[in-house]
Amino acid sequence: MASPCVRNCCLNQVDYCLGCKRHLDEIVSWRSYSNAQRQAIMTQLAARDISDSHSADPA
């Protein structure tokens, strides 16, 4: 599964990328995740609201 990276990397105050909405830990670990883990993250990305850097929800 391809990375959701959009080459617009900029982390907010709680380490969420404003480009792809992944947390820094997810970005770093992406290559080691199984396809099922990647799909779970991809599903979560659409629902993530990272506009308020203090209330980003990783779930």
pLDDT, one tens digit per residue, over 20-38 is 999 999 999 999 999 999 9
Q: What is the DSSP string of 14-48?
A: TSBBTTT--BHHHHHHGGGS-HHHHHHHHHHHTT-
Assigned domain for 58 exists: no
Closest CA to 5 of 21, 41, 46, 44: 21
Look at residue 52 in the predicted model and tell me its pLDDT.
56
Assigned domain for 6 exists: yes
Assigned domain for 57 exists: no
Task: Work out how many domains the chain is built from and give that number.
Answer: 1
Look at residue 16 in the predicted model and tell me its pLDDT.
96
* pLDDT of 45 higher than 90: yes
Structural domain for 16, as ranges? 1-49
Q: Position 35: which residue type?
A: N
**Residue predicted with more confidence, 17 or 50:** 17
Assigned domain for 14 exists: yes
| Other Cβ atoms closer than 10 A to 18 | 14
